[in-house]
């Protein structure tokens, strides 16, 4: 039986040490007419709870405006992470991958957030599903995109460059430019991106998985047993662990991610302050070694044990 690893409470991101559970702001305006007052209140509560890593995007239908209304002027210890590579509202996104478009998107994020320098900017590649796929002039060389983002970094527009939806080879090619974080799909039941996670960990790069509790997409051609991705919190190994520990299944699944690799940072989203507090508490949940072993053994594409 393997020993339970020590849980580090922070990890460096864009030049700051942040708590390993932050907040993904997409849900603030997704899927329904937002309650702006409730959204502002939640963002302020998150800061009061100690969250110092907020993940947003200009194409999240007004989330940047809401963050600015709630939190501007921002504290120096807050990392605002955003994404470029697409434009439009959530219901009608289109690829915007050309270097000039990436620059325009960085400027748009700066404007709507009301700042002169972004903490972290992810390049969201559009090579494959899930999500939008770039075609025609939107099939752009990674090196050209990285050169533009590096220029923006040199100009003081951003602190760190991130990558999202990238392959192992793309991550290898990008590392010499200086990469601060990677966002790829990853959770207990979907570990197909384990090689990218291992490479990121070996180079001190933060790993910020999207779909940490399972996927909202209806189809994934690249994953054989997609049905399991929809039900991470329903896996018997997860529910039995939660019952034994007196926690929620979501807390168990999030804690497993944090203990799987020390460079993992989480950004679960919610509209509920109580739910956000539960997510943050997962960072303090030290899963016993026998539970970790059972979770490690859950059948999943790309499964690999903790080092």
**Contact status, residue 132 vs residue 126, Cβ threshold 8 Å:** yes
Is the preceding peptide bond at 162 cis, omega within 30 degrees of 0? Answer: no
Catalytic annotation on 186? no
Tell me the three state secondary structure of residue 190: strand
Q: Which residues pair with 264 in a beta bridge?
A: 207
- Distance between CA atoms of residues 266 and 276, nearest Å: 12
Question: Which residue is listed with tokens 């959204």?
Answer: 39
* Residues contacting residue 32 through CB under 8 Å, at least 6 positions apart: none
Q: Which of 23, 60, 122, 186 is catalytic?
A: 60
Cα(first)–Cα(last) distance of the chain, in Å? 13
- Rounded to 5 degrees, what angle do the CA atoms 230, 231, 235 make? 150
How far is Cα 190 from Cα 16, in angstroms, rounded to an integer?
29
In 3-state terms, what secondary structure has residue 201? helix
d(CA 129, CA 175): 23
Q: Dihedral, CA atoms, 236, 238, 210, 126, nearest 10 degrees?
A: -30
Quick one: residue 229, left, alpha or beta (phi over 0 = left, psi -120 to 50 = alpha)? alpha
User: Which of 273-285 are b and which e, b meaning 16 or more Cβ less than 10 Å from the residue's Cβ?
Assistant: beebebbbbbbeb
Annotated catalytic residues are 60
């Amino acid at each position: 039986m393997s020993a339970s690893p020590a849980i580090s409470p922070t990890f460096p991101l864009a030049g700051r040490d942040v708590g390993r559970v932050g907040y993904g702001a997409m849900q603030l305006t997704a899927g329904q007419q937002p309650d702006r007052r409730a959204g502002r209140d939640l963002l302020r509560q998150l800061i009061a709870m100690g969250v110092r890593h907020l993940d947003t995007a200009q194409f999240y239908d007004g989330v940047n405006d809401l963050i600015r209304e709630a939190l501007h002027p921002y504290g120096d210890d807050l990392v605002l992470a955003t994404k470029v590579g697409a434009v439009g509202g959530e219901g009608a996104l289109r690829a915007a991958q050309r270097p000039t478009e990436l620059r325009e998107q960085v400027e748009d994020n700066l404007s709507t957030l009301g700042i002169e320098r972004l903490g972290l900017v992810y390049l969201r590649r559009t090579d494959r599903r899930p999500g939008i796929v770039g075609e025609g002039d939107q099939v752009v060389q990674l090196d050209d995109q990285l050169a533009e983002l590096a220029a923006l970094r040199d100009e003081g527009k951003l602190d760190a460059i991130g990558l999202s939806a990238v392959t192992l080879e793309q991550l290898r090619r990008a590392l010499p430019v200086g990469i601060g974080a990677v966002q790829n799909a990853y959770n207990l039941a979907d570990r197909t991106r384990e090689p990218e996670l291992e490479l990121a960990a070996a180079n001190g790069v933060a790993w910020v998985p999207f779909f940490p509790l399972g996927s909202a997409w209806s189809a994934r051609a690249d994953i054989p047993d997609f049905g399991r991705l929809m039900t991470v919190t329903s896996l018997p190994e997860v529910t039995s662990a939660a019952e034994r520990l007196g926690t929620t299944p979501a807390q168990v699944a999030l804690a497993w991610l944090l203990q799987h690799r020390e460079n993992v940072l989480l950004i679960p989203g919610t509209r509920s302050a109580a739910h956000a507090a539960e997510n943050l508490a997962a960072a303090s949940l030290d899963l016993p070694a026998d539970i970790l072993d059972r979770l490690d053994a859950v059948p999943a594409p790309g499964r690999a044990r903790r080092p």
